[in-house]
Structure 1
Amino acid sequence: MTYTALVYEDPETPGTWIAEFPAIPEAHSFGRTPEEALVHAKEALELVLAYLKETGRPLPPDVRTVQVGIDAA
């Protein structure tokens, strides 16, 4: 199973990167680099999915993100 992750620099704390999964808001983390944030977020994702499975709750489907540009004139 795969989940789409968003990784971005925290606008309130420059130098800190956030990684999160839109389909599973509980699974997110941060790090000093995008790679570190993603490693920690993957660990959180695995824990959340294990909890959902253990408690008999359905696993959420993946959510895909699409970038859309607009003219903000």
Structure 2
Amino acid sequence: MDPAPGPEPTVVVRDSAARIGVLMNRLSDRQRDILAMRLLAGLSSRETGQAMRMTAGAVRVAQRRALNLLRKAMVADF
């Protein structure tokens, strides 16, 4: 058996990635950077704050606002 995903899962993943890209473009550069550091790189709010010259609390607030914007955009678009 071939362990590689078939054509349908590949299309679904590509479509999802394209939709996420469109949604992420609605965020500011700062919001995208915060989400990337927190969710993709796994940095703490403190580490992210140090990198971005923000307090840990400000990072958490900005992250929450960015995620709320993404949620609202997803509901409106899909």
Larger fraction in strand: 1
Higher Rg of the two aligned structures: 2
What TM-score, normalized to structure 2? 0.36
Larger fraction in helix: 2
What TM-score, normalized to structure 1? 0.38
